[in-house]
Amino acid sequence: MNPNTPVRLAVFASGEGSNLRNIYQRIHDGELKNVELALVVSNNSRSGALEVARAADIPSRHLSTRTHVDLAKAMLDVLAEFRVNLIVLAGYMKLLPNEVVEAYAGRILNIHPALLPEFGGAEMYGLRVHEAVLAAHRKVSGATVHLVTSNFDEGPIVMQQTCEVRDDDTAQSLQDRVQKVEYDLYPKAIAKVAVNMIERGSGTTTL
Ligand code: GRF
């Protein structure tokens, strides 16, 4: 990659899109440098993430197994069309097709609302994660950004950030605190990976 060329991000999201909104805002405010938001992909045509994209004029696509027989090809085609260097999963509730994981090996990030390797896996999403943390009587939780492999919540950890678990926490109050951590952590982790990609000049990342 050319050192003057920003890393082009595709954010994949299924739900509300608050991490997407935060990443967009940080780029817009000049706090998150060396990247540009090239594309938003959602498997959910009614997702808040697609609304965020439309409101911010970011190109977006609804891609799902319901609308695309060959989802992997549809994803790879649109990623190529928008010259995407780095895929950022932000509340994307599906496993990426293997072809996409292989084509973008080392260049796909995910954020998980707990301190992996604990409290991860296919069943661990939404409030369930925080319920499990409370049931295990942990005093500390937080968020993890990791590289994506073909299994849920596995792959090398890029960055983690912690927050306290309070005695009177509910799953909802803990989720709210962890989400604030995510808004701080994800832009930092994206920046770290982007700088690494630019310095290596190869379009891949090593940690
Ligand atoms: C976040 O808590 C993230 O950790 C998890 O999904 C949630 C997405 O929320 N993977 P939002 O759609 O960004 O608001």
| pLDDT value of position 152 | 77
Pocket of ligand 1, candidates 41, 88, 182: which has the most ligand atoms within 8 Å of its Cβ, to mutate?
A: 182
Which amino acid is present at 107? R
Residue ranges of the alpha helices (H) in the chain? 18-28, 48-56, 71-81, 98-103, 127-135, 171-200
- Please determine, for residue 202, whether its predicted confidence score (pLDDT) is greater than 70: no
User: Which residue is catalytic, options 28, 62, 68, 112?
Assistant: 112
Whether 133 has a pLDDT exceeding 90, the answer reads yes
Note whether 79 and 86 are within 8 A (CB). no
Ligand 1 pocket, residue 50 CB under 6 Å = no
- pLDDT at 141 > cutoff 80: yes
- Measure CA 44 to chain center: 16
Amino acid at 138: R
**Catalytic annotation on 62?**
no
pLDDT exceeds cutoff 80 at 205: no
> Which residue's CA is minimally distant from atom 10 of ligand 1?
91
Contact 7, 191 (CB under 8 A): no
Tell me the pLDDT of the chain averaged across its residues: 94
Of the segments 67-71, 118-122, 174-178, which one has the largest average pLDDT value? 174-178
Domains of the chain: 7-200 (3.40.50.170)
